[in-house]
Amino acid sequence: MDIFLQQILNGLVLGSVYALVALGYTMVYGILGLINFAHGEVVMVGALVSLSVIEVLLGANLGIPAPLVGVMALVVAISVCMALGFSIERVAYRPLRRAPRLAPLITAIGVSILLQTVAMLIWGRRYHTVPALIPPTPHTFAGATITNVQILIIVVSALIMAGLMGLVHFTRLGRAMRATAENPVVAGLMGVNINRIISATFVIGSALAAIAGVLVSSNYGIAHYYMGFVLGLKAFTAAVLGGIGNLPGAMLGGLLLGLIESLGAGYVGDLTGGFLGSHYQDVFAFLVLIMVLVFRPTGLLGERVSERA
């Protein structure tokens, strides 16, 4: 039973990260109808930038306490990613706003590859070790172990998701975002500056991506130029699972996908009597996605895409 609890905890940690990244995908899709494939790469940039800042600060031996170094690295990573998200939108997606749907899609893939290559040129091809700023002391309760960093991931993700919901539902910016998501043309007629709102969406999504990148690289202690690709793909899957365009859906989808992957990897061997091993965990996760979409094509909580008259 304690193993089951441990797998649940593993799944929640994994899922919190997926949820943070899925929110970025879902917000952009809800407003623009565009799958921002470059989003996973923004996560990667956030992780590598924070790593560089940490290395510089620790190397300069300024006597700054470790948690403060972490916070500073996080702030720099968030700023860089926000600027990156803003630039990607302006340079790659805005000119294609009126183009047929395929064009921005291919552009997004192109931006993704571009970012991976630039990262490879800047940070090299090796796996980088991320120094542990928070000592990963494991805490045990009810037979399950969880480290400080993992607790931090779950708590930070939960707070951010709550904050985002608050932003979207209780502020003017949030109201403008919801209006744009519902119908951009009419929102524009009502005095909403569509371009600003879309930029704000990308910027917020990229900030979340930066936080996710820092958390992931701290948890596994590794960062490298290719880490964003699979993570982005899985986060997008999570967004679709929960209902694309739907913020609570992205959160639910993320957490659910993390849990399914964790439980799948842990139990699929036992369930199939050793016929299928734990390396089928991805297959398991995607099978669940297919089943959900077959019976509920709009995802678990229903999709919310803007009306395009």
Partner 1 sequence: MNTRDLSVHLKTLVVGVAAAMALALAGCGKKDEAIKIGHAGPLTGPVAHLGKDNENGVRLALDEANAAGVTIGGQKATFSMQSEDDQADPKQGPIVAQKLVDAKVAGVIGHLNSGTTIPASKIYHDAGLAQISPSATNVTYTHQGFKTAFRVMANDAQQGKVLGDYAVHKLGAKNIAIIDDRSAYGQGLADEFEKAAKAAGGQIVTREFTGTDKTDFNAILTSIKGKNADLIFYGGMDSQAGPMMKQIKNLGISSKFLTGDGGQTAEFLKLAGDAGEGAYASSPGVPLDKMPGGKAFADKYKAKFNIEIQLYAPYAYDSANVLLEAMKKADSTDPAKYLPILAGITFQGVTGNIAFDENGDIKGGSISLYQAKGGKWEYLDTIGG
| Interface ranges with partner 1 (CB under 8 A) | 2-3, 6-7, 10-11, 13-14, 120, 125-127, 129, 132, 136, 138, 140, 145, 147, 150, 220-222, 224, 226-227, 230, 261-267, 269-270, 274, 277-279, 281
What is the nearest approach in angstroms of partner 1 to the Cβ of residue 65? 20
Nearer to partner 1, 20 or 197 (CB): 20
Identify any residues that bridge with 146 across adjacent strands, giving them in sequence order. Answer: 139
Nearer to partner 1, 181 or 259 (CB): 259
Nearer to partner 1, 3 or 159 (CB): 3
Nearer to partner 1, 47 or 289 (CB): 47
> How far, in Å, CA of 5 to CA of 236, rounded?
26
Nearer to partner 1, 147 or 183 (CB): 147
* Cβ within 8 Å of residue 108, ≥6 positions away: 34, 35, 36, 37, 38, 92, 93
- Pair 110, 33: CB distance under 8 Å: no
What is the nearest approach in angstroms of partner 1 to the Cβ of residue 162? 25
Residue type, 309: A
> How far, in Å, CA of 252 to CA of 256, rounded?
6
What is the nearest approach in angstroms of partner 1 to the Cβ of residue 129? 6
What is the nearest approach in angstroms of partner 1 to the Cβ of residue 21? 15
- Pair 177, 168: CB distance under 8 Å: yes
> How far, in Å, CA of 93 to CA of 236, rounded?
18
Nearer to partner 1, 136 or 297 (CB): 136
Tokens matching residue 50? 């924070």
What is the nearest approach in angstroms of partner 1 to the Cβ of residue 266? 4
Nearer to partner 1, 120 or 190 (CB): 120
Nearer to partner 1, 125 or 169 (CB): 125
What is the nearest approach in angstroms of partner 1 to the Cβ of residue 100? 32
What is the nearest approach in angstroms of partner 1 to the Cβ of residue 230? 7
> How far, in Å, CA of 46 to CA of 228, rounded?
10
* Cβ atoms < 10 Å from Cβ of 21: 30
What is the nearest approach in angstroms of partner 1 to the Cβ of residue 24? 20
